[in-house]
Copies of this chain bind each other. A is one copy, B any other.
Amino acid sequence: MSAFDNRITRLFNIDCPIVQAGMVWTSGWKLASAVSNAGALGLIGSGSMYPEVLKHHIVKCKTATSKPFGVNIPLLYPDIEKHIQTVIDEGIEIIFTSAGNPKTWTSVLKQHGITVVHVVSSSMFAKKAEDAGCDAVVAEGFEAGGHNGREETTTMVLIPAVKEAVKIPVLAAGGIATGKQMLAAMILGADGVQVGSRFVCSNEASNHIKFKEAIVHSKEGDTMLCIKKVVPVRLLKNDFYETITKAEANGASKEELQNILGHGRAKKGMLEGDLTEGELEIGEVSTLIKDIKPAAEIVNEIWNDFNAAVKDPFCQDKE
């Protein structure tokens, strides 16, 4: 891997400024260690793990890689104290937090020498993360999969806005699965990228093979940000999507929508492979994902494509 040196590679002590998103039902030790071994930063996604399961994944990840890796913790996780204690006990050095207020836990983590990165969807939240002491932010555009912001700002607009708002490094997320998209995001002002959807279609991702195949076959317009009255989430359209969207269009209340949503939808869809009634969280970029392959190949492909684009940015114009 060709050398690259910037604020993000130095912050995490990695070879290329690519971070694999810590996604529910997807990002276990197998994916995180494969990504880290390839020179990028792998993250364990703790949002779908019981505390003892998280501990198990951390222990396994340590044996699978000697490279840096991190853990993503959604701040609205019910047993948040236990997750925080686990990562401190296990000596985790990099934590990505999301879905919540960074004020509460950042200082606790920083006291243990942990590098803290917070995921935001606006420059206002980016500034709050900086003020809370975070070392970097992930700025996640409207096109990203899973839970997202209410302002619907896309990566093309969000990255310059966040870059202007904060001094700490910025990782761009949302709509990034190729090296050209990575370079575009860095020209917009990002110091690196967080890639989610592309790694869902890696061999090492723990989600169901049927979900991976559905992504490979998906087309433009097959994902949509919905359930906005409860919490905006981008997912692959299916019967469940049709049901809840129709209810929303007919004026269903937040409570009625929560009843339709029920519990365990994401697990049913992403882990168990129920493509009809499950919640299938994925980004718009799924339309550009054409195959399932090892995570290391994905890292190398993005990185080689990025470097080729740096050398020849207008190759699209070879008529």
A interface residue numbers (CB < 8 A to B): 6-7, 122-124, 141-143, 150-158, 160-161, 163, 174-176, 178, 180-181, 183-191, 220-221, 224-225, 229, 249-251, 284-285, 287-288, 309-310, 313-314, 316-317, 319
- Contact between chains at B250 and A220 (CB < 8 Å): no
Give CA–CA (A313, B175) in the complex, Å.
20
Q: List 21 A-B contacts (CB under 8 A).
A: A6-B314, A7-B317, A122-B220, A123-B220, A150-B221, A152-B225, A153-B220, A156-B175, A156-B181, A156-B185, A157-B284, A158-B220, A160-B180, A184-B184, A186-B316, A187-B187, A187-B313, A190-B316, A191-B317, A250-B251, A310-B313
A287–B160 Cα distance when bound, in Å, is 10
- CB contact under 8 A between A221 and B189, given known A156-B184, A181-B156, A229-B249: no
Q: How far is the CA of A143 from the CA of B151 in the complex (A)?
A: 11
Docked-complex contact B187 and A180, CB < 8 angstroms: yes
Which residues of the other chain, B, contact A224 by a CB distance below 8 angstroms? 152
- Closest B residue by C-beta to A313: B187
Q: Which residue of chain B is the closest to A162 with respect to CB atoms?
A: B220
- Nearest to A174 among chain B residues (CB) is B156
B143 touches A157 (CB 8 A): yes
CA distance A225 to B314 in the complex (A): 32
Nearest residue (CB) in B for A150 is: B221
Contact of A142 among B122, B154, B190, B288 (CB under 8 A): B154
Q: Which residue of B lies closest to A184 (CB)?
A: B184
Task: Collect the chain B residues with CB atoms within 8 Å of residue A309's CB.
Answer: 187
- Give CA–CA (A266, B275) in the complex, Å: 42
Which residues on the B side are within 8 Å of A157 (C-beta)?
143, 175, 220, 284-285, 287-288
Is the Cβ of B153 less than 8 Å from the Cβ of A284? yes
Contacts A143-B154, A143-B156, A160-B180 known; list 15 others, CB within 8 Å: A142-B143, A151-B220, A152-B224, A153-B221, A154-B156, A154-B175, A156-B174, A156-B185, A157-B285, A160-B181, A161-B220, A161-B288, A181-B188, A183-B187, A186-B314
**A7 neighbours in B (Cβ, 8 Å):** 317, 319
A186 touches B151 (CB 8 A): no
User: A156-B155, A221-B151 in contact; A316/B191 too (CB < 8 A)?
Assistant: yes
With beta carbons under 8 angstroms apart, the residue of B122, B154, B250 that contacts A154 is: B154
4 residue pairs, one from A and one from B, having the closest CB atoms: A251-B251, A151-B221, A156-B175, A184-B184
Closest CB of chain B to A183's CB: distance in Å?
5
Contact (Cβ within 8 A) B176 A156: yes
Q: Is the CB of A154 within 8 A of B151?
A: no
Among A141, A150, A156, A310, the most chain B Cβ lie within 10 Å of the Cβ of: A156
